[in-house]
């Protein structure tokens, strides 16, 4: 259920960003799709899991299509739900990071690579969205987003073997969500470097 909510929130995020750039309906739907599934698609291609996850069932593209259309029609209402979407976005980030890590484990990859796959799954849909919108990706200039995935991934492997899988996943998702929400609440960002 949280995965579906994450897909919905990421779709709305992408679709809303496209509308701010005055894209047509097709463009809005494509940007929503890429934002929701871009990270997972890159992960699946990297580990050779093809056809990629969203192609194995028709319900995910349908959810994205309906969400994208809904975003177009209810944009004024959605604009007022910013806090709610930040919370769901953080939950989606945590869950997608765990999904990426577990896909890496299932493929027999090392913990470091699994953390990278988790980070890609959680945050690279937003990177692709920003590139397609001709923006510098937010995670490269101010957002504490990928960093939350990396910290959560490290915690996941530190807890593995000490606690059962459910507790490990719950703690990891909570840490990723917590870091993301604190960063948004207090406007925290990574240090910037200039040449």
Residues contacting 194, CB < 8 A, separation 6+: none
Reduced to 3 states (helix: H, G, I; strand: E, B; else coil), residue 71 is helix
Residue 8: is the preceding peptide bond cis (ω within 30°)? no
Q: What is the pLDDT along the chain (195 residues), one digit of tens a residue?
A: 667 877 998 899 899 889 989 999 999 999 999 999 999 999 999 999 999 999 998 899 999 999 999 999 998 887 787 787 788 888 889 999 999 999 999 999 999 999 999 999 999 999 999 999 999 887 887 778 999 999 999 999 999 989 999 999 999 999 999 999 999 999 888 887 777
Say if residues 147 and 190 touch (Cβ distance below 8 Å). Answer: yes
Residues contacting 112, CB < 8 A, separation 6+: none
Say if residues 47 and 33 touch (Cβ distance below 8 Å). Answer: no
């Amino acid at each position: 259920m949280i995965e579906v909510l994450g897909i919905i929130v990421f779709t709305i995020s992408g679709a809303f960003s496209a509308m701010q750039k005055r894209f047509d309906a097709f463009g809005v739907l494509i940007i929503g799709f890429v934002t929701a599934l871009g990270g997972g698609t890159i992960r699946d291609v990297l580990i050779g899991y093809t056809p990629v996850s969203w192609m194995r069932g028709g319900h995910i593209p349908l959810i994205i299509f309906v969400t994208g259309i809904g975003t177009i029609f209810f944009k004024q209402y959605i604009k007022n739900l910013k806090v709610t979407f930040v919370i769901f976005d953080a939950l989606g980030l945590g869950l997608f990071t765990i999904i990426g890590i577990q896909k890496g484990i299932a493929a027999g990859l090392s913990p470091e690579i699994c953390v990278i796959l988790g980070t890609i799954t959680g945050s690279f849909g937003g990177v692709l969205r920003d590139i397609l919108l001709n923006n510098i990706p937010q995670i490269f200039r101010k957002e504490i987003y990928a960093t939350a995935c990396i910290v959560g991934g490290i915690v996941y492997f530190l807890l593995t073997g000490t606690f059962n899988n459910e507790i490990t996943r719950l703690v990891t998702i909570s840490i990723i969500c917590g870091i993301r929400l604190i960063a948004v609440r207090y406007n925290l960002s990574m240090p910037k470097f200039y040449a």
